[in-house]
Structure formats: C-alpha cells, structure tokens
C-alpha cells in the first residue's frame, strides 16, 4: 500500500469537515420558527493565525496548535468545539438523555466541557446558568455558554463557537450548529456566561 503524502492526508481530513451542513431548529420552540442554514463553507473557513489551514478533524490534538503560540486561544477552543460537533452531530434529542443514543441540551454542554476541557459543569440548565460570570452578547467568545428562554417549561443552553454560531441539542434536528442571528434565537435570547476564560480552556484542552 502506498502511503499518502502528509498534505494529502490533511486534505482528506479537511474535506470530510466540509460536508457538514447544519440547520437551525428550536430546542423548545414551535414548528413555526424560521430556519437559517449555516454557510456551506463555514466548517472550512480559514481562521485567524492559521492561514489556509482550516478546522482540524476530531483525531487531531489541539495542543500542537497551542504550543505554536501562533493561534489565539479562542480559535483553539473553537476548533476543539467543532471537533466535538463532528462527534455529536445528528445525535437525536432526548430529554434526560446523556449519550449518543439521545441527549438534551444541558447534558450536551456538560459532556462537551468534560470531554474537551476536563471541566465539570452542573447537569441542568438551571445549574449552568450560575456558572462563571455574566457577559454581554457583544463579548462572546468561543466556549461561552448562551442561554435562551423559549415558550414552554424548559430553558435552553448551547456553547458559542464563534462567528455568531453556537453548538446545541435541538429537539427537532438533534445536535447541530445554529446562528444567533436567526429570528427565533434572537427573540428568545436570554443571557451569556463565561464559565472559564478562553486561555484557560485552551490550556485545559491541550492536555487531551
């Protein structure tokens, strides 16, 4: 068997990311909400400090980028979160669920934080909303928690990944990445919190 050159291997990994297409859906919203699709090239966008090297694949360690000291911590965190999206994408929503068989919004947030940053968050949205410190929407950076208060019994939570997008578990689409600029999420946006500074998150993530 002929081994592929290293650039070719990297290209194959990058190509696999580019196939992801995500749709906006409400975790606790009605079927009348408007949908907004993420740009087709969102998962292959060049990131600041990386040049032409786009998002890493889930099997690539993030510590190599951190050690290079050329990639800002929020970008390192963002790539780690996108790798988690690849792992969880399409997992169906199930209230009370905590695994790939089905998961709810707060369990997804807890699992991603634990598996990526070795940081334990409370299991419920009610507990997570008291983590860290409150921040303005204009201050959002990758890794921040975003909370929504849609109609119904439950609040909703996701993790900001940058560029106006957040990772979350939707009741209708399962685990997806959605836009904060969507009219539904704009309407029910509640608050954002920073559980830990991006620099610390990147350092924690580099241990994996």
- Nearest-10 Cα torsion for 163, 111, 169, 48: 10
- Annotated catalytic residue 130: no
What separation in angstroms does the CA of 6 have from each of 3, 11, 12, 25, 67?
9, 9, 10, 38, 20
Pick the catalytic residue: 27, 85, 105, 200? 105
Determine which one of 27, 130, 156, 200 is catalytic. Answer: 156
Residue 148 contacts residue 190 (beta carbons within 8 Å): yes
168 labelled catalytic: yes
DSSP H helical ranges for the chain: 6-18, 63-68, 73-88, 105-117, 125-128, 183-188, 198-205
Closest CA to 35 of 204, 198, 176: 176
Respond yes or no: is residue 85 known to be catalytic. no
Percentages of the chain per state (helix, strand, coil), in multiples of 5: 35, 20, 45
Q: Which of 18, 130, 168, 200 does the annotation list as catalytic?
A: 168
Residues identified as active-site: 105, 156, 168
């Amino acid at each position: 068997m002929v081994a592929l050159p290293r650039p070719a291997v990297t290209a194959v990994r990058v190509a696999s990311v580019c196939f992801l297409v995500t749709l906006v859906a409400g975790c606790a919203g009605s079927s009348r909400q408007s949908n907004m699709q993420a740009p087709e090239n969102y998962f292959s966008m060049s990131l600041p400090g990386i040049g032409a090297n786009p998002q890493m694949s889930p099997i690539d360690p993030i510590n190599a980028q951190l050690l290079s000291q050329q990639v800002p911590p929020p970008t390192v965190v963002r790539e780690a979160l996108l790798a988690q999206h690849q792992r969880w994408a399409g997992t169906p929503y199930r209230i009370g669920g905590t695994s790939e068989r089905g998961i709810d919004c707060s369990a997804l947030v807890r699992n991603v934080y634990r598996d990526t940053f070795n940081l334990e968050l409370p299991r419920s949205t009610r507990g997570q909303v008291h983590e860290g410190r409150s921040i303005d929407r204009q201050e959002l950076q990758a890794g921040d928690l975003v909370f929504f208060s849609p109609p119904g019994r439950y609040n909703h939570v996701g993790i900001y990944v940058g560029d106006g997008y957040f990772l979350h578990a939707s009741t209708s689409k399962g685990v997806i990445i959605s836009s904060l600029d969507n009219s539904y999420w704009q309407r029910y946006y509640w608050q954002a919190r920073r559980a830990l500074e991006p620099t610390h998150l990147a350092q924690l993530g580099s241990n994996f």
